Amino acid sequence: MSTGTTKLDVVVSDVVPVNELVTRFHFRRRDGELLPTFSGGAHVVVEMRDGDRTRLNPYSLMGSPLDTREYTISVRRDDVGRGGSLFMHRQVKPGLEMVISYPVNLFSLDLRAKKHLMLAGGIGITPFMAQTSQLAGAGGNFELHYTCRTASLGTYADVLQQRYGNRVHLYHDDREERIDLDRLLSSQPLGTHLYVCGPAGMINWVRDRAAALGWPPETVHFEHFAAPQPGAPFDVTLAISDTTIRVGEQQSLLEAIEAAGVDPPYLCRGGVCGQCETNVISHDGKFIHNDHWLSEEDHRSGCKIMPCVSRFEGKSLVLER
Amino acid sequence: MAAKTIISRPIYGTLSPQPGKHHLFIADAEGALAITDMAGKAPPGFFDGAEIDFIPGPEGKHIAALEALKPAQLHLSPSFASLLPRLKQTLTNAHMGLRLYLAGTEGLIGQAMQVALEAGMDHTSMQTEHRGSLARRMQCVHCKGITENVTTQPALCSHCGLLLLVRDHYSRRLAAFQGVCINAEDRSEIPPMEETFP
């Protein structure tokens, strides 16, 4: 059972190409009512029914939390991924009826902060679109530093600069522009909270530097949805359900468990929230952990796995499901 | 050592050196020993970026031990009230990366924490260590007056004179334990007063 993920019946109200890689999708409720309230940083899980296959991918809501007539998400096309973003880009047209989850926020603002310092990389800009709208509406103090590959791939950079002027700082990789991170982190007033969303390498770099420069962990917030990685098929025994299943090359372990009719809890499907954490009863082989939830110790122990993003290679794996 | 009785009752830890370049210590009396004990675990050069604000108290001990750590700054104050303007100024001008270490009596830890919370620090990101007296800072829930250095149970409110039960119920916002009238039904009933927080 998908904890907290009550479903919403929506219709695609608009599809807007933003640049060569990113397309924006607008959803409204089919019954015409307002959508549930959300806060900046929230995501929804979009169900993609593609023939006999259903994919469930999380996307950050990027519209203003002050306007719940529609939800908007921006999807970056990934030509070598498992096909979710390609499905959205190719098959989702205005008028299509879809199902999405209620919004869930695993990357919320800490509103006790005196200042919000935001660092975005690439498509990691989307949660900040909602957060900056939320803060601007309430007179909040924020500063956004946004790194993109080129100006044409700087999704919403123009919108953000127009809205917030010099509170937005842009860095273009192709112009060799780099954030002077240590200086930035060392010059923030006491009471600042740091938010980072982008590629894993960027998040790790920012977290490492913040920790080394004395930022307490409670003031550093990050979100990185790991897309489930494809890999060699493997067999898994679900002990409680008393069944053995095969995880396909393009399938996540969680999706395979669901396809067998077992309904484990989930929220983010990206290795972040911890909901689908599953105990390992026995194994003979090696885990490929891709999550950001379990500790390194948990990873080494071989006693736990996050089936939404992690895989297994070896002879046998028995899970408590 | 404080025992966890109810959820609001603060529990203190042991000071440990945190990452970063700027470290601010606030301590009174035997709290100095928590700093010197921690210094043994600190990396070389740790105190080069440290400021220690110390209230030695009437006995005036431990000053030399703190001087020996060679902190960038060492300030001595006769009371928390006299230290307060300096602390506020330091926190107003501080940047992220400043780490706070509070050591000594509960009253000192609580009041310094209260100022730091207002400056935007999270209480979970401050290092605390209780040393010395168990005396409590108490707020009378009836007249709202604060009585310092309460060592007895029950205790007299120094403002309205009610006899108060000193509860474990603590307010971080006020930096005080709550004192509630112990004989509201019958004022002539006077329970024995014991030295509970020496």
**Selected residue of A188, A190, A215 to mutate for chain B interface (largest B Cβ count, 10 A):** A190
- Looking from the CA of A106 toward its CB, the CA atoms found within 13 Å total 25
Domain A115-223, CATH: 3.40.50.80
**Which residue do the tokens 């000594």 mark?**
B104
Give residue B7's pLDDT.
87
Query: What's domain A234-319's superfamily in CATH?
Result: Beta-grasp domain (3.10.20.30)
Which residues in chain A are closer than 8 Å to B97, comparing Cβ atoms?
Answer: 185-186, 213-215
Give residue B4's pLDDT.
64
Beta strands in chain A (DSSP E): 7-17, 22-29, 42-50, 53-60, 71-76, 97-101, 104-105, 115-121, 142-148, 168-172, 192-197, 220-223, 234-238, 243-247, 278-288, 304-305, 311-319
Give residue B65's pLDDT.
96
Whether the CB-CB separation of A161 and A170 falls below 8 Å is answered with: yes
Tens-digit pLDDT profile for residues A205-223? 999 999 999 999 999 999 8
Give residue A259's pLDDT.
87
Q: Mean pLDDT, consecutive 10-residue segments, chain A of 321 residues?
A: 70 97 97 96 94 88 96 94 91 97 93 96 96 93 97 95 97 96 97 95 95 95 82 94 92 91 88 92 94 92 94 94 93
* B188 close to A (CB below 8 A): no
Domain A7-105, CATH: 2.40.30.10
Classified as helix, coil or strand, A45 is strand
Q: What is the pTM of this model?
A: 0.87
The beta-carbon neighbor of B96 closest among A185, A212, A217 is: A185
Q: CATH top-level class for B22-130?
A: alpha beta
Give residue B2's pLDDT.
58
* A111 close to B (CB below 8 A): no
**Which residue do the tokens 């108060």 mark?**
B164
Give residue A229's pLDDT.
83
* d(CA B36, nearest CA chain A) in Å: 21
Q: Where are the domains of chain A?
A: 7-105, 115-223, 234-319
Q: Inform me whether the pLDDT recorded for B134 exceeds 60.
A: yes
ipTM: 0.86
Give residue A5's pLDDT.
53
* B161 close to A (CB below 8 A): no
| Segment holding B103, helix H or strand E | strand B98-104
Output the average pLDDT for chain B: 94
Give residue A223's pLDDT.
86
Pairs of CB atoms within 8 A across A/B: 63
Q: Inform me whether the pLDDT recorded for B179 exceeds 70.
A: yes
A199 upstream amide cis, omega within 30 of 0: no
* A215 close to B (CB below 8 A): yes
Q: Where are the domains of chain B?
A: 22-130, 136-195
Give residue A1's pLDDT.
41
Tens-digit pLDDT profile for residues B2-58? 566 788 899 999 999 999 989 999 999 999 999 999 999 999 999 999 999 999 988
d(CA A25, CA A9): 15
